[in-house]
Amino acid sequence: MTTEQQYFENAKPLAQYMDDMTTKKEESFSIYEKFDVPADDEFIQVLKDRAPHILVITEDWCGDAMMNNAILRKIAEAANVEVRAVYRDENLDLIDQYLTNGGRSIPVYLLISKDGEVISKWGPRAESVQQFVMDGRAKFPAKEDPSFEETQKEFYAQMSNEFVNNQEFHLAVYEAIRNAWLPALQK
């Protein structure tokens, strides 16, 4: 069985993954250009000191990945740590070890120690982003309703716009990653 460290070794760097995107690329780079890592955060220093590997399980059609990967890339650059990405749909054995509520939700970020051990997992959404999505979906009519598809389409467009432009969401993603990983790194 392939280990997470082996997946990491065979994966592409996150910067290359973003350059290779075929959908949502412009939006992802827009987020990347807008987001700045908080300057006074001990999290970045701990990341630098521990120098973990970070493995991303992702797909470029995913709106959450569009936002989160751009923010993770900024974190990694600030801490000078290596992040590599694998495609979920090409690595079902891997994603099936990290299901979210029984589903193959992405992105999933695996924090890997120097010993090759997964010490933390994060993804696919920050809590406030999840609440926004759940609140929006709660307003959908029943699937049988003739307006369902149009309502869904309109919400997904609104969601994509929020993911690109809502800097509170960007900071929430940063904080969620920080809160998940900092305790694992300080052990």
Whether residue 28 is contained in a domain is answered as: yes
CA distance 97 to 62: 19
CA distance 44 to 145: 48
User: What pLDDT is attached to residue 15?
Assistant: 97
User: What pLDDT is attached to residue 105?
Assistant: 96
pLDDT digits (tens, 9 = 90+) for 100-147: 999 999 999 999 999 999 999 999 999 999 999 999 999 999 999 999
Query: Measured between alpha carbons, how far is residue 89 from residues 62, 75, 86, 101 in Å?
Result: 12, 25, 9, 18
Whether residue 154 is contained in a domain is answered as: no
* Residues ≥6 apart with Cβ < 8 Å to 106: 57, 58, 59, 62, 64, 65, 88, 95, 123, 124
Helical H segments across 122-166, by residue range? 127-138, 148-165
Whether residue 150 is contained in a domain is answered as: no
Whether residue 137 is contained in a domain is answered as: no
Pick the closest to residue 172 from 126, 111, 119, 118 (CA basis).
Answer: 126
The DSSP bridge pattern shows strands 12-13 and 108-112 to be unpaired
pTM summary value: 0.94
Secondary structure (H, E, C), 49-115:
HHCCEEEEEECCCCHHHHHHHHHHHHHHHHHCCEEEEEEHHHCHHHHCCCCECCECCCCEEEEECCC
Pick the closest to residue 60 from 2, 17, 108 (CA basis).
Answer: 17
Confidence of residue 187 (pLDDT cuts 50, 70, 90): confident
User: What pLDDT is attached to residue 58?
Assistant: 98
Cα Rg of the chain, angstroms: 17
Whether residue 84 is contained in a domain is answered as: yes
Pick the closest to residue 180 from 89, 84, 68 (CA basis).
Answer: 68
Domain that residue 17 falls in: 4-125+167-185
Give me the number of domains the chain comprises. Answer: 1
Whether residue 145 is contained in a domain is answered as: no
pLDDT over 90 at 1, yes or no: no
Whether residue 155 is contained in a domain is answered as: no
Whether residue 136 is contained in a domain is answered as: no
CA distance 35 to 121: 22
**Domain of 108: which CATH number?**
3.40.30.10
Query: Measured between alpha carbons, how far is residue 43 from residues 25, 126, 182 in Å?
Result: 28, 17, 6
User: What pLDDT is attached to residue 183?
Assistant: 94
